[in-house]
Amino acid sequence: MTLQQILSMLFQGITAASFLALITFAIVLIFKTSYTTNFAQSSIATFSAYVITNLFVNIMMVNNPEGNPVMMLLFSIVIGIIVGFGFGLFIDTMLIRKSRYSNVLTKQMITMGMILVFSGLFPVVFGVYAQPTPMPLTRRVFELNVGGSTPIYISGHSLISIVTTIVVLGAIFIALKYTKWGLGVRATASNEVVAGMMGVNTKFITAMSWGLAGGIGALAAGLFAPTVFTLSPDLMMGLQINGFLAAVLGGFSTFAGPMIAAFIIPISRVFAWQFLSNEWSNAIVYLLVLVIILIKPVGLLGKRIAKKV
């Protein structure tokens, strides 16, 4: 095992982690402000990926073949993010808030119902056939020489994904820490009733969190879709399941824990794939995560919350 191999595996793991980190953040943001797990996260993201691809391939490239593809793609991604934002907002303001009886199970059931709604929408809106996803931003593959016989190959798309993830999540973490909105989110997360009494507009905070989560999911889907080459209705389902596991592994009670877990899981999967077994790498990682959670139920960074009886 040479340094090159280890580095290129690490790079693979970090690329996978960059998609997972976005989805995990979206799940945790909704959990912290609304106390529910959003099962429709992957469906919203997949819908946005369909919107981005169709807008770019079927509308923009057809109507304006001489235009700059990068600008058109960026425009499509922005539209996709807006669509994701809108769906997130819709679930919170039109469904969850309007429901007559609201508890944890109700909210979860509404998001599960949304999965079915989206599964019904995909064939009607976008057709029944699988669509290929172009990768127009960059097809370049960089070679990085770290002193050895073979260089490390780094694909431009992975680099873009990693940088985007770091920039977006970094901006959001800074906003959480230093802006008034971030303070509101943290106050709502710690206690919604008390935050409301202190003058925080918790409804606005919750709605914005849902919208933001939808938008982040759309961004993740837009970055992830070209790496699997075809669109399918369960494009993001695997990422969502991993996101849930990462959120539990890191501990739902903090923002940083799930992010760390979102990097641990894909990287350990790549290493398990290489060193232990090609086929069983997923199962090994899941088992490991389950064992860690059993030993430490609150997660890696979580704190035990005392419950009032």
Partner 1 sequence: MLEHRPLQQSTPLSTWKKLTKHPFFGVFLSLFVMILIRILGNINAIPSGVVDVFAIIWIYIIIGLGFTLLLGYTGLASLGTAGFIGVGSYVVAYILGTAGMPLIVAFIVGIMISIGLGTVVGFISLRIEGMYLAIITLGLSEILVEVFKFWTKVTKGLVGFQLDRYTILGFAVREEQVYYVLVLALVLTMFAVLNIINSPTGRAMLSIKNSTSAAQAMGISILKFRLLSFIVSTVLAVIGGMLYMMYTRSTIPNIWNIALSLNILAAVVIGGAKSIWGVSLGTIFIFGFNQLVLARIPFFARYGNASLFINGALIILVVMFYPGGIVRMFSDLSRISKKAYHWILSKVKEYRYGPEE
228 binds partner 1 (CB under 8 A): no
Torsion of CA 121, 242, 159, 41, to 10 degrees: 30
The site that binds partner 1 (CB under 8 A) totals a number of residues, namely 49
Least separation in angstroms between residue 124's CB and partner 1 is 5
Give Cα 91 to chain centroid, integer Å: 17
In terms of residues, how long is the chain?
309
Helix-helix angle 281-295:256-275, to 10 degrees:
140
Q: Which among 278, 270, 275, 282 has a CA at the least distance from the CA of 9?
A: 270
Residue 115: both structure tokens together: 């999965």
Least separation in angstroms between residue 296's CB and partner 1 is 10
Dump strand ranges (E) for the chain.
Answer: 131-132, 141-144, 152-155, 230-231
292 binds partner 1 (CB under 8 A): no
Residue 54: both structure tokens together: 């169709």
Of 6, 59, 70, 116, the one binding partner 1 by CB under 8 A: 116
Which one of the spans 91-99, 130-138, 196-204, 266-274 is the region binding partner 1 (CB under 8 A)?
Answer: 91-99
Rank residues 93 and 282 by Cβ distance to partner 1 and give the closer one: 282
100 binds partner 1 (CB under 8 A): yes
Q: Which among 75, 84, 82 has a CA at the least distance from the CA of 55?
A: 75
d(CA 41, CA 47): 10
Which one of the spans 16-24, 104-112, 192-200, 214-222 is the region binding partner 1 (CB under 8 A)?
Answer: 104-112
Least separation in angstroms between residue 181's CB and partner 1 is 25
59 binds partner 1 (CB under 8 A): no
Of 120, 132, 148, 170, the one binding partner 1 by CB under 8 A: 120
98 binds partner 1 (CB under 8 A): yes
Q: Which residues does 228 contact at the CB level (< 8 Å), separation at least 6?
A: 133, 235
Rank residues 4 and 24 by Cβ distance to partner 1 and give the closer one: 24
37 binds partner 1 (CB under 8 A): yes
Which one of the spans 139-147, 200-208, 209-217, 291-299 is the region binding partner 1 (CB under 8 A)?
Answer: 291-299
> Burial letters for 255-275: b for 16+ Cβ neighbours within 10 Å, e otherwise?
bebbbbbbbbbbbbbbbbbee
Which one of the spans 46-54, 77-85, 138-146, 282-290 is the region binding partner 1 (CB under 8 A)?
Answer: 282-290
Q: Which residues bind partner 1 (CB under 8 A)?
A: 31, 36-37, 39, 95, 98-101, 104-106, 108-110, 112-124, 128, 233, 237, 241, 244-245, 247-248, 252, 279-280, 282-283, 286-287, 289-290, 293-294, 297, 309
